[in-house]
């Protein structure tokens, strides 16, 4: 059986990997849009900014929630 710390570490690593892949995809789309003559630069930022903030916010929220939950379990175990 997996203990709680190992499971928390695995979830944290998977979230970090997913966040990295999403950020690379958004940055690639941003660079493609900036260097393509047919696309207006202002429109690229309008489209990708909310997506970038949503993905980063969700990943940070999940990581913070996982860490707080694991810290809460550790604190309850010490009492």
Asked whether residue 71 carries a pLDDT value surpassing 70, the answer given is no
Query: How much is the pTM?
Result: 0.67
| pLDDT, tens only, 25-59 | 988 988 888 888 888 878 878 888 888 888 888 88
Per-residue model confidence (pLDDT) at position 69: 74
What DSSP string runs through 14-78? HHHHHHHHHHHHHHHHHHHHHH-TTS-HHHHHHHHHHHHHHHHHHHHHHHHHHHHHHHHHHHHHH
* Average pLDDT over all residues of the chain: 80
Tell me what the mean pLDDT of segment 8-23 comes to.
86
């Amino acid at each position: 059986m997996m203990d709680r710390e190992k499971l928390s570490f695995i979830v944290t690593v998977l979230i970090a990997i997913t966040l990295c892949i999403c950020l690379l995809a958004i940055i690639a789309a941003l660079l493609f849009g900036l260097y393509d003559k047919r696309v207006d630069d202002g429109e690229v930022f309008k489209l990708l900014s909310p997506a970038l903030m949503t993905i980063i916010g969700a990943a940070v929220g999940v990581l913070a929630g996982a860490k707080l939950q694991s810290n809460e379990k550790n604190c309850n175990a010490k009492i």
